[in-house]
Structure formats: C-alpha cells, structure tokens
Amino acid sequence: MDIVVNEELKAYIDPMTPEEYDALERSILAEGCRDALVLWGDMLVDGHHRYSVCRKHDLPFQTIQNTQFRSMADVHLWMIDQHLGRRSVSPFQRGVLALRKREILAARRAGAREVDDQAHAQAAAEAVSDAPEDATPVAATPADAPKPEPLPSRVAIAREARLSNSQVGMIEKIHKQAAEEVVAAVKAGTLSINAAAAVASLPVEEQRAAAVAGGDELKQVARRVREAKRKPRDEVTPAQDTTDDSELHTLRQRVIELTAENEALRRQLAELQGQVSASD
C-alpha cells in the first residue's frame, strides 16, 4: 500500500537531531526495522524517521493499523502519550506535550458542552411543539447526556510529564511568552528551563537581542532578571528603617517607665511592711 506522510503530523512532535537520526540509521542498518510503523488508514502516525531510513536504504518494514482513532485529535493525544513515556524526550518537551494534551482536552470539553447545549435546546423545542396547548411547560433534558471529562490539573500534568509543579508553570510561561529564539535555546540545551522562564518575562525584542548575542548573554540576562526580582531578607527601605527605630525607641522607653514604677511599688510595699512591724 502507498503510505501517506502528513507533514503536520510529522512536525507535531519535535524531530530528531541529526545525531539522533544517524544513531537510528546505524541501528536499523545493523538490526533491521524492528518496530512496526503505526498507520491510520494509509496515513503514517508513528515511525516517520524509521520510514525515512527504510525508504532511503530500500529496507523492509512492518505496519500496524490503529483502529481506535476517530479524529485527528485522537491521533494527537495518542502521539503525545507515546512520547511522554520515552526517556529520550527532554523535560521541556515533556512539559510542552503535557500542556498541549490539556489544550486538546479543553477544546474537546468545550465542543462537548456546545453539542450538549444544542441537544438541550432541540429537545426543549420538540417538547414544546409536542405538548398540549394547556400543558405546563417542563424543562427538557436530553436522555443520557454525557458529562464532559474534567480537565487535568497542573498537579496531574506535572505527574504525567514527570516534572514538578513549578517546572510546569515555568514551561507554560515559556510556551506563551518566550521568543522563538529563546525556545530554540531551551530545546538545544543551551538555556535551562528556569533561566528561559526568567528571560521570557522581558519584552520579545529584548529576548531576541539577548539570544542573538549567544548563550552566555542569555544566561547573564536571566541572572540579572532574577536578581532584580529577588529582595534580600535583610534589605529594608529608609522609611522602614525610620519606623523600626522609632518603634524600638518607644518600646525601650516603656520598659524604663515600667521598671521605675515597679521599683517605686517595691519601696512602698517595704515601707508598709515596716510600719506594720513597728505597730506590733
């Protein structure tokens, strides 16, 4: 059969690096294509790099059909789940994939809610048209209306991607705010997730300028951003200093006054005790 390569599917997951592709090619040349390519009809879903190597060297390969797919969203979710379980996928890529999965589920949930609203409106209209003229209106609800699945929380996303909650938050920030050059630096391993999230808080043009200057400059910019946001615990403003000194002075004066009052009371008590002794 003729296998169709969908370019959108091929690019949906980050491609292998040239080094990874060379390693795969050597492995297939030595051992053959051991894993079957996954198809949806005649469309290639999984195994694009293996298919490329086999075509290049005219090597045999096996295929398998996944009959559970009903839509392209099903295909995307399956691809994401497959790659989330692979060790070769970087932490940043896992975070992006997990967030992408949540977006797909959110879109599916919104679509299901829209369909449910339409069915509810249709059922209500049919109930009104079929009811006697003197009947009391009753709200109509579609029978067996499916409830949309709850969206995974950030904790669930982090667990699935084998990341911490804070890492997922930083990856989400990078995904939404970082310039393409900064994202490329993270994917290449030049910049850490933590540093990229710091750089992503800057205007896009500043991010690009730092990226053009190189990885070292990106790291320096990230360090300066973090230092600007970090406030030392012992750092206080002059106004805070003045307030603290004033409060401390007032407390000290109060202690002196209480000590004097206490001493005066002790003297009075001693005098009273002396008077009582004298009368006895």
pLDDT of residue 7 exceeding 80? yes
pLDDT of residue 27 exceeding 90? yes
Per-residue model confidence (pLDDT) at position 96: 93
What CATH class is the domain 7-67?
alpha beta
Beta-carbon neighbour count of residue 124 at 10 Å?
16
Radius of gyration in angstroms for the set of CA atoms belonging to the chain, rounded to a whole number: 35
List, for residues 40-86, the tens digit of each pLDDT value: 999 999 999 999 999 999 999 999 999 999 999 999 999 999 999 88
Per-residue model confidence (pLDDT) at position 186: 93
Cα–Cα distance list, 254 to 27, 50, 104, 246, 264 (Å): 83, 82, 66, 12, 15
Task: Write down the pTM of the prediction.
Answer: 0.65
Per-residue model confidence (pLDDT) at position 110: 85
Residue spans of the domains in the chain: they are 7-67, 71-161, 178-234
Encoding tokens for residue 15? 């491609």
Per-residue model confidence (pLDDT) at position 268: 77
Please state, for a pLDDT cut of 90, what percent of the chain lies above it: 53
